[in-house]
């Protein structure tokens, strides 16, 4: 939590503006995306307000959601255009941005749907619809903008995970799986994009929104309104921000960084490595007194355990990966 003096430092920070920047925000007709659209526009960005305009559970479509936000921004002297495609047709969204303004600096993959389904009741359709919007939608928009950003040597990507993606929730196996996928996608692109000036980060929001049952007026008054999300998004997507591959929980004025932590290792070599000995030693796996936090891209924890500092020599596959 911030201290008083830290708050003073923060208020002294220069304004993070987006003059001449083009920001594409998916699912910006409601909730968190709408708050992003307003905040980026207020800071000078030209905003593509994408929204299919369906229900929270992904039924139907309605152009009025995106149109209303564009009208609000335009009335406040900001610059925005509406786009009504589904994110699964990401190339059309990016094409619309390029046709209007010739560039895309920031893509925020925010569009989302939610509907609980007990796993016993899961159908192929309920599973696939959830994965299509969150995983394929984020993939399709990002894939479409990727060559453009790499060619220009600049880009900021933001992915939307969830506490359900980090920690899971019963009756949300489909949503939890889709939101966990956002972490892998964001981090892999952070690694691939770094040499091209493209940075990727992920948020796990906690916010009043249409999805969580609040209308626009209630969201504006809420102690966990989407305005809080917008401030973190602005910071992460600004040109001066070096953050890359980060994961953050955010809401209600709080921001936390999320990391993976490893417990103390249980080492049982050769014949000692039996299920019975693992059962006896399992308490060690609860010992986080000296946690190890693997860095972004450090996917070789066990390789290091086994081979020590020369672990790389033992993995031919690394030559292909690098
Ligand atoms: P919301 O329902 O208020 O807004 C989501 C918007 O996405 C809607 O306007 C909807 O029409 C749009 N959308 C849905 N499917 C689309 C598609 N295929 N193409 C284009 N637009 C589409 O919900 P929100 O709470 O603002 O959610 C924003 C994101 O944050 C989602 O990804 C959601 O899963 C995630 N999230 C929200 C919370 C929370 O506490 N509100 C928590 C965790 C994650």
Closest ligand 1 atom, CA of 30?
A: 9
Helix (H, G, I), strand (E, B) or coil at 291: coil
Record the tokens describing residue 202, joined without a space: 């992920």
What is the pLDDT at residue 129? 98
Output the CA 315–ligand 1 centroid distance in Å: 41
Longest dimension (CA), the chain: 73
Atom number of ligand 1 nearest to Cα 33: 26
Atom of ligand 1 nearest to the CA of 87: 19
Tell me what pLDDT residue 319 has. 58
The pLDDT value recorded for residue 309 is 83
The pair of structure tokens assigned to 140 is 């399709």
CA of 32 to the centre of ligand 1 (A): 7
How many CA atoms within 13 Å lie on the side-chain side of 127? Answer: 9
Distance CA 39, CA 45 (A): 9
Per DSSP, the three-state class of 312 is: helix
Question: Pocket around ligand 1: residues whose beta carbon is below 6 Å from it?
Answer: 26-27, 29-33, 50-54, 56, 58, 65, 86-87, 110-114, 133, 137, 160, 162, 205-207, 209-212
CB 212 within 8 A of CB 317: no
Residue 300 Cα to ligand 1 middle (Å): 34
CA of 110 to the centre of ligand 1 (A): 6
pLDDT for position 185: 98
Give me the chain's average pLDDT, please: 94
For the CA atoms of 231, 232, 233, 235, the dihedral, rounded to the nearest 10 degrees, stands at: 90
CATH of domain 10-257: 3.40.50.720
Q: Output the residue whose Cα is nearest ligand 1's atom 6.
A: 27
160, 142 Cβ separation under 8 angstroms:
no
Helices (H), 237-288: 275-281
Q: Which atom of ligand 1 is nearest to the CA of 133?
A: 18
Q: Quick one: pLDDT at residue 139?
A: 99
Residue intervals of the chain classified under CATH 3.40.50.720 are: 10-257
Q: What is the pLDDT of residue 312?
A: 80
* Single pTM value for the model: 0.95
SS3 145: helix
Active site residues: 175
**In this predicted structure, what is the pLDDT of residue 251?**
98
| Closest residue CA from atom 17 of ligand 1 | 86
φ, ψ dihedrals at 4, nearest 5°: -60, -45
Distance from C-alpha of 84 to C-alpha of 63, rounded to nearest angstrom = 6
**Alpha helices (H) along 169-254:** 173-193, 216-221, 227-236
CA dihedral 106, 55, 80, 17 (to 10 degrees): -40
Cα distance between residue 208 and residue 185, in whole Å: 26
Query: What pLDDT sits at residue 1?
Result: 42
Distance 211 CA to ligand 1 centre (A): 7
* Residue 9, Cβ density class (10 Å: 0-12 exposed, 13-18 middle, ≥19 buried): exposed
CA-nearest residue, atom 11 of ligand 1: 53
Taking the C-alpha atoms of residue 20 and residue 152, their distance in angstroms, rounded to an integer, is 15
Question: Given this model, what pLDDT does residue 4 score?
Answer: 43
Tokens of 248: 């953050």
Eight-state DSSP code of residue 37: H
Listed as ranges, residues in the chain with pLDDT below 50 are: 1-11
The DSSP output letter for 27 is T
């Amino acid at each position: 939590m911030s201290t008083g003096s830290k708050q003073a430092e923060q208020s002294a920070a220069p304004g993070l503006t987006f003059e001449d920047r083009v920001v594409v925000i998916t699912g910006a007709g409601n909730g968190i995306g709408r708050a992003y659209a307003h905040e980026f526009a207020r800071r000078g960005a030209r905003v593509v307000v994408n929204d299919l305009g369906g229900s929270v559970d992904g039924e139907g479509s309605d152009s009025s959601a995106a149109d209303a936000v564009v009208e609000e921004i335009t009335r406040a002297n900001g610059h925005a255009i509406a786009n009504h495609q589904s994110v699964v047709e990401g190339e059309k969204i990016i094409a619309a941005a390029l046709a209007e303004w010739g560039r895309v600096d920031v893509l925020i993959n925010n569009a989302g749907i939610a509907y609980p389904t007990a796993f016993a009741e899961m159908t192929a359709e309920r599973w696939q619809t959830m994965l299509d919007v969150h995983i394929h939608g984020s993939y399709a928009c990002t894939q479409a903008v990727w060559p453009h950003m790499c060619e220009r040597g600049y880009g900021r990507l933001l992915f939307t995970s969830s506490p359900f993606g980090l920690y899971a929730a019963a009756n949300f196996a489909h949503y939890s799986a889709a939101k966990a996928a956002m972490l892998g996608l964001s981090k892999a692109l952070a690694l691939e994009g770094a040499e091209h000036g493209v940075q990727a980060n992920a948020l796990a929001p906690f916010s009043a929104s249409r999805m969580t049952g609040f209308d626009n007026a209630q969201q504006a008054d809420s102690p966990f309104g989407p305005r809080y999300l917008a401030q973190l998004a602005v910071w992460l997507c600004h040109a001066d921000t070096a953050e890359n591959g980060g994961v953050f929980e955010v809401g209600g004025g709080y921001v936390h960084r999320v990391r993976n932590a490893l417990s103390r290792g249980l080492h049982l070599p050769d014949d000692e490595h039996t299920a019975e000995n693992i059962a006896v030693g399992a308490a060690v796996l609860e010992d986080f007194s000296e946690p190890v936090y693997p860095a972004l891209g450090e996917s070789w924890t066990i390789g290091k355990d086994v081979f020590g500092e020369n672990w790389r020599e033992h993995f031919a596959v690394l030559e292909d990966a690098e």
